[in-house]
Amino acid sequence: MAEIHKAGIVHRDLKHLNIFFSDNSDSPNVKIGDFGLACSLQEDECIKKVAGTIGFMAPEVVSNEVSDFKSDIWSLGVMLYALLSSGVPFSGRTREDCVKSITESPLTFHNPVWATVSD
């Protein structure tokens, strides 16, 4: 991700389904795919456009506010949460419920799986 951001690219749709491993070796290369929603930004630029997969979007993205490289970092955090707990931290029955959850709900670790995760 650091390399992609250094090149001025914001992915805008990071999720576990867009992460690939080069092979089955003990140290495969990690590759990021699906740059269909990506955009090029300068370090001090922002973009205002809703894009991505709702459960992995940053609050500013789902709220149609300006966003930048930080929205990818949010998505990485959601991916890590999902990998550890097998679920996303914010969700809802409808898109509107998801937006409300992402923008208004606190991050919680009440799922029983978190008792097995070391701090």
Question: Can you read off the two tokens belonging to residue 112?
Answer: 């029983």
Task: Give the pLDDT confidence of 16-25 residue by residue, as tens digits.
Answer: 999 999 888 9
Domain membership of residue 108 as a residue range = 2-116
User: What does the pLDDT read at residue 119?
Assistant: 63
Query: What is the C-alpha to C-alpha distance for residues 119 and 115, in angstroms, rounded to an integer?
Result: 10
Read off the pLDDT of each residue in 81-88 and give the average, rounded to a whole number: 90
Residue 110 reports pLDDT greater than 70: yes
Q: Identify the CATH number of the domain in which residue 73 sits.
A: 1.10.510.10
Residues annotated as catalytic are 13
Question: Count of domains in the chain?
Answer: 1
Instruction: Give the model's confidence band at 116: pLDDT under 50 very low, under 70 low, under 90 confident, else very high.
Output: confident
| Torsion sign across C-alpha atoms 8, 10, 16, 19 | negative
Query: What is the C-alpha to C-alpha distance for residues 38 and 53, in angstroms, rounded to an integer?
Result: 13
